[in-house]
């Protein structure tokens, strides 16, 4: 499979996803339960980039955007983010939120802006990422797509 095709991850890809996330110091504890919401780019049978769009009410959580170190500077992360934001628009979601410790300026390029963690919708705040997996000091960001989010 070429690195150009973003596809939904399958159960056989779980170990690859967890390995890629761990190698990049991102949480992977809840990936098994959220795998159906993850997409990736492969080079042959190697997962080289991935990300998730976890539904949360009328919104979603953009999460775990990751690119293998050997494949950076190829816009693969941007390709994943753009793909997931398009999915969110197709699903007519009101907004997409995320937490990041290191990539605030990166996500600003996609239109995300920082906001107080307590400003996210309740369903987003109840995700494991918000409740326990991401540190309280992580920057919370949001992107309004439609509606009153």
Question: Where are the domains positioned within the chain?
Answer: 6-144
pLDDT band for position 127 (cuts 50, 70, 90)? confident
Q: In whole angstroms, what is the distance from residue 11 CA to residue 15 CA?
A: 8
Q: What is the pLDDT of residue 149?
A: 45
Q: What is the pLDDT of residue 1?
A: 38
CB 35, CB 109: distance < 8 Å:
no
Q: Is 81 helix (H, G, I), strand (E, B) or coil?
A: helix
Q: In whole angstroms, what is the distance from residue 111 CA to residue 95 CA?
A: 11
Percent of the chain topping pLDDT 90? 72
Superfamily for the 6-144 domain: Gcn5-related N-acetyltransferase (GNAT) (3.40.630.30)
pLDDT in tens, 68-105: 999 988 999 999 999 999 999 999 999 999 999 889 99
Tell me the pLDDT of the chain averaged across its residues: 90
């Amino acid at each position: 499979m070429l690195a150009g095709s973003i596809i939904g991850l399958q159960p056989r890809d779980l170990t690859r996803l967890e390995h890629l996330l761990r190698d990049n110091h991102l949480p992977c504890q809840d990936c098994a339960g959220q795998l159906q919401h993850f997409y990736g780019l492969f080079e042959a049978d190697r997962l080289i980039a991935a990300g998730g769009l976890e539904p949360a009410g009328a919104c979603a959580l953009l999460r775990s955007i990751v690119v293998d170190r050997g494949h950076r500077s190829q816009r693969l992360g941007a390709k994943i983010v753009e793909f997931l934001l398009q999915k969110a628009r197709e699903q007519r979601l009101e907004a997409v939120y995320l937490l990041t410790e290191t990539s605030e300026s990166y996500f600003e390029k996609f239109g995300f802006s920082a906001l107080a963690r307590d400003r996210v919708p309740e369903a987003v705040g109840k995700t494991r990422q918000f409740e326990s997996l991401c540190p309280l000091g992580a920057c919370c960001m949001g992107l309004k797509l439609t509606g009153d989010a």
